Amino acid sequence: MYKINENFQKLPGSYLFSTIGKKVAAYQQANPDKEIIRLGIGDVTQPLAPAIIEALHKAVDEMGNAATFRGYAPDLGYEFLRSAIANTDYKARGCDISADEIFVSDGAKSDSANIQELFAADSRIAVTDPVYPVYVDSNVMAGRTGEYDPKTEMWSNVIYMPSTAENGFVPELPKEVPDMIYLCLPNNPTGTTLTKDELQVWVDYANKNGSVIIFDAAYEAYISEADVPHSIYECEGAKTCAIELRSFSKNAGFTGVRLGFTVVPKELKCGDVSLNAMWARRHGTKFNGAPYIVQRAGEAVYSEAGKAQLKDQVAYYMNNAKVIKDGLAEAGYTVYGGVNAPYIWLKTPENMNSWEFFDFLLENANVVGTPGSGFGPSGEGYFRLTAFGNYENTVKALERIKAL
């Protein structure tokens, strides 16, 4: 009889957002007349910007013409997109990242789950707590996390770095040295972030101790404060210790279109082995490129028209963030985030635990959010609301919450 990867059996429950989806569907089925407002998963609601739609139409027409038709995309992505990324996201911010350090993919979720393949099976990972569940779950599947303790909701071989209100959501450097450190900034789920000086401390720590940082910058477009870095490569020395993940989902509304990229600097080496070469080998073997049409849409994100339209889109969502944050504060909640990120992190009222508050909100306000404990034990007693809804629904949701 064949054997399965037993590590999958260790995973408790289903993926956080699948669990929420099932609970909401069951509630809706039992209460078909209720109008549910979904501020749970960070899924966008605004249509693609006109510059992107135009690029998609043009690329579709090219695919229908023998002279301009394209088959397999280059493994690492089309040059037109990688150059636009290198120039706009990096060189313009003073980061010396070139097109051949950029690997285009179908999104940051898959890259953040797959990147761990580059590292030894016995590598020790460190994660902030709370944390985007994909980092931990993908390492569970790879057999790196030890055993799960349902009481503490922790894995025996994972280093947890609590980010709590008590430490201002700035986690302490780990006492035991990890091999891989996952950082998501601006942070999902807390909506908080680090200044450049604070991030520099992590870069220096990684270089000094021989750790690699997996830096998830999916929410960088939402940064509004000047001292918050958009890329880890704004910090000195980051090219020798950090991989950066980026997404088009949140800054350009590509959650259903699918596009992202990963930066693996050529200076990032383990001994004399280049991680850039390893990721190129992995990408070439396991991935056949993001669709041409989608990469053209990605290129339009960097056009002058695209940039202006997306700035407005980000401002639209950040206005929702303000509506949520101000509304909750008015209703007496303790709230965090929402300034450099589209997430608002709130303390649950009356000592309800995160799932109790989820049920309370769903049943009494018909509003869906995300229980903080789903992101890790330090998220217990917290709750996340997303600013990615439409304005009218966001206002309505807050009116309902204020009336509770």
Q: Which residues bind ligand MLT (CB under 6 A)?
A: 41-43, 109, 132, 188
DSSP character string of 35-73: --EE-SS----SPPPHHHHHHHHHHHHHHTSTTT---SP
Report the distance separating Cα 347 and Cα 342, nearest Å.
17
State which residue, 110 or 164, has the beta carbon closest to ligand MLT.
Answer: 110
CA nearest neighbour of 187 among 164, 158, 157:
164
Shortest distance (Å) from residue 42 CB to ligand MLT = 3
Shortest distance (Å) from residue 289 CB to ligand MLT = 21
Shortest distance (Å) from residue 342 CB to ligand MLT = 10
State which residue, 19 or 157, has the beta carbon closest to ligand MLT.
Answer: 19
Identity of residue 190: T
Cβ(130)–Cβ(165) under 8 Å?
Answer: no
State which residue, 200 or 373, has the beta carbon closest to ligand MLT.
Answer: 373
State which residue, 191 or 306, has the beta carbon closest to ligand MLT.
Answer: 191
Shortest distance (Å) from residue 90 CB to ligand MLT = 22
State which residue, 114 or 188, has the beta carbon closest to ligand MLT.
Answer: 188
Report the distance separating Cα 13 and Cα 240, nearest Å.
37
Shortest distance (Å) from residue 304 CB to ligand MLT = 28
State which residue, 190 or 231, has the beta carbon closest to ligand MLT.
Answer: 190
- For residue 291, say if its preceding peptide bond is cis, omega within 30 degrees of 0: no
CA nearest neighbour of 325 among 317, 315, 316, 334:
334
Q: Which residue has the tokens 């980061």?
A: 95
Report the distance separating Cα 291 and Cα 107, nearest Å.
12
Closest CB to ligand MLT belongs to which residue? 42
Percent of residues in the chain assigned helix, strand, coil, to nearest 5: 45, 15, 40
Shortest distance (Å) from residue 106 CB to ligand MLT = 12
